[in-house]
Structure 1
Amino acid sequence: MKKIFVVEDEENLRNLIEAYLVKEGFMVVTAQNGLEAVEKWRDSLADIIIMDIMMPGLDGYEVLDYIRKDSKVPVVFLTAKRELEDKIKGFETGADDYLVKPFSMKELVMRTKAILKRSGNQEDYLQTYGELTIDLIKMEARVSGELIELSRKEYELLAYLAKNINIPISRGKLLDGLWGIDFEGDDRVVDTAIKRLRKKLGAAEGYIKTVRGLGYKFEV
């Protein structure tokens, strides 16, 4: 199931987009402004971002510029602006598509699916780390060419750590990013998940390092 990160400051429109995408079979994470988008986009593990341009704090151009420093995740801009110069600016910033308000939800879904289909052919979605290969489209992992049977949460944990290679990640951040801020358990669930994941990784289990007193990091 593909995950979409929706960034829109108009609450009614944000809720409408979310409801329609969920109905179409997508997982959806949302943010209500540019600042929140910058804080949440990495943890969202989104396959595509749908983002308004005119937002308080940071506008869509600024958020996309921040994202493009280390990610090629597809981005669709939503805007009330119709001028060609605005579209050109969006594409120059790194947007993959541009949808002018008002738009139909059906068109949004069609454009989203088309971009995801094109993105699936890009080598960026096949990440290799030593003996480990992660397929971000099929959401699976292989060690020395052999498919590993991972649960959805184990895959998300592995992909998150690998995306932040060599960066120590606290248990709290892993818990909030992958289990959600409303999760009522404690961070021992992270340790348990890491233990299971390491066991399944076999020859690549050593890629997940323990950072004493903090959490974990992915290192090859």
Structure 2
Amino acid sequence: MNHIYLIEDDVKLAKLIQMFLLKHGYTLDVFNSVTAYQDHQATFIPSLIICDVMLPDGNGFELFKQLQNEHTCPIIFLTALDSNQSQIKGLNLGACDYLVKPIMPNLLLAKVNAILRQSTINNQHISEYKQLTLDHQNKTISFAKLDLNLNENEYEIVAFLVKNAPHPVSREVLFQHVIGREYDGLDRAIDLKVSRLRKKLTALFNASYELNCRLDIKSVRGKGYCLDIQTASDQ
């Protein structure tokens, strides 16, 4: 699941965009000012950033360089400034698109989908972390060349923990990413999925006697979940 940062000072509009994109499979962090963005502690790594130009304590053009330095994802400007010069400035800075308010929700969704599709094409489909190999196109993961045979939710859990490694990911963040809705503080769906995944990994590695390494998911008290990778040198 792709995560989006939305930097937008219009609280009502930001909420509408968040609810609309959430319904279409995206999760969002929303910041209503430059300061709110700069003061936040990262929970998700964004796949896309949508940034307003006119903000109460600065503007998106000035913030753009920081966004570029901190993230490698595409950036869209969303603003009421419809002059050609403003659009040219935004695109020349390096933004991948410049959307003028008011924008129809379906057009925004189509733009987001298209940009993320292109971003996926431009990125490598295979990534590696320690002894894990992730095929993002086919959504498969192997560990020490052993296919983990994960379902889609299990793939999303492991892939997201890899993406944030070595830092733990909170239950709330993992819930939102995998389940696709806001965490209400009571729903234990993500805990059940992690528990089943742990049992699956334990059974898999217990059956693979020749492997001298193991993969597990560790609970970090007060912080959430992270990967626990044991290699031959650790044993």
Match of 1:178 among 171, 174, 177: 174
Residue number in structure 2 paired with 1:21: 21
Do the aligned partners of 1:126 and 1:133 also contact (CA within 8 Å) in 2?
A: yes
Distance 1:210 1:65, change over 3 A: farther
- 1:71 Cα deviation from its structure 2 partner: 3.0
Report the residue type matching 1:148 in the other structure. N
Q: In the superposition, relative to structure 1, how do residues 102 and 168 fare at CA in structure 2: closer, same or farther (>3 Å)?
A: closer
Give 1:85 shift: 4.5
- Structure 1 equivalent of residue 8 of structure 2: 8
Q: CA deviation at 1:99?
A: 0.6
TM-score norm. by structure 2 comes to: 0.65
Contact 1:3–1:47 at 8 Å: present in 2 too? yes
Number of the residue aligned with 2:180? none
Shift of the 62–176 alpha-carbon distance from structure 1 to 2, 3 Å rule, reads farther
CA contact (8 A) 2:202 2:216 kept: no
Q: Secondary structure at the match of 1:9?
A: coil
The answer to whether the 8 A contact 1:80-1:101 is kept is yes
Moved more, 209-218 or 98-107: 209-218
Map 1:162-173 to 2 at 5 A: 162-165=162-165, 167-169=166-168
Q: CA deviation at 1:97?
A: 1.2
1:66 aligned partner, one-letter code: Q
Of stretches 88-97 and 209-218 in structure 1, the one that deviates more from structure 2 is: 209-218
Deviations 1:99-131 (A, max 9, x none): 112222232122122112212212345322244
User: Aligned partners of 2:61, 2:6: CA distance in 1, in Å?
Assistant: 15
Q: What is the one-letter code of the residue matched to 1:178?
A: L
Q: What letter matches 1:7 in structure 2?
A: I
Q: Which residue of 2 aligns with 1:100?
A: 100
CA contact under 8 A between 2:198 and 2:216: conserved in structure 1? Answer: no
* CA shift digits 1:68-96 (9 cap, x unpaired): 33532222210122344433443354422
Q: Distance in 1 between matches of 2:63 and 2:138?
A: 27
| Counterpart residue identity of residue 26, structure 1 | G
Secondary structure at the aligned position of 1:78 is classed as strand
Q: Pick closer, same or farther for the CA change 1:137–1:85 going to 2, 3 Å.
A: farther
Who is 2:208 aligned against?
none
Q: State which drifts further: 49-58 or 135-144.
A: 135-144
Cα distance in 1 for residues equivalent to 2:151 and 2:75:
28
Between structure 1 and structure 2, the one with the greater Rg is 2
Does the CA contact (< 8 Å) of 1:87 and 1:98 recur in 2? yes
SS at match of 1:102: coil
Q: Note the residue ranges of structure 2 that are not aligned, 5 or more in a row.
A: 177-182, 206-210
Report the TM-score when normalising by structure 1: 0.68
Q: Supply the distance in 2 between the matched residues of 1:32 and 1:132 (Cα, whole angstroms).
A: 34
User: Which residue of structure 1 aligns with residue 30 of structure 2?
Assistant: 31
Number of aligned residues: 213
Q: Distance in 1 between matches of 2:98 and 2:86?
A: 10
What amino acid maps onto 2:25 in structure 1? F
Question: 1:133-212 alignment to 2 at 5 Å?
Answer: 133-136=133-136, 139-143=139-143, 144=145, 146=147, 148-150=149-151, 152=153, 154-165=154-165, 167-169=166-168, 174-179=170-175, 182-184=184-186, 189=191, 192=195, 195-196=198-199, 199=202, 205-206=214-215
1:135 and 1:69, CA in 2 relative to 1: closer, same or farther beyond 3 A? farther
Match of 1:121 in 2: 121
Q: Percent identity between the aligned chains?
A: 27
Q: CA deviation at 1:185?
A: 7.7
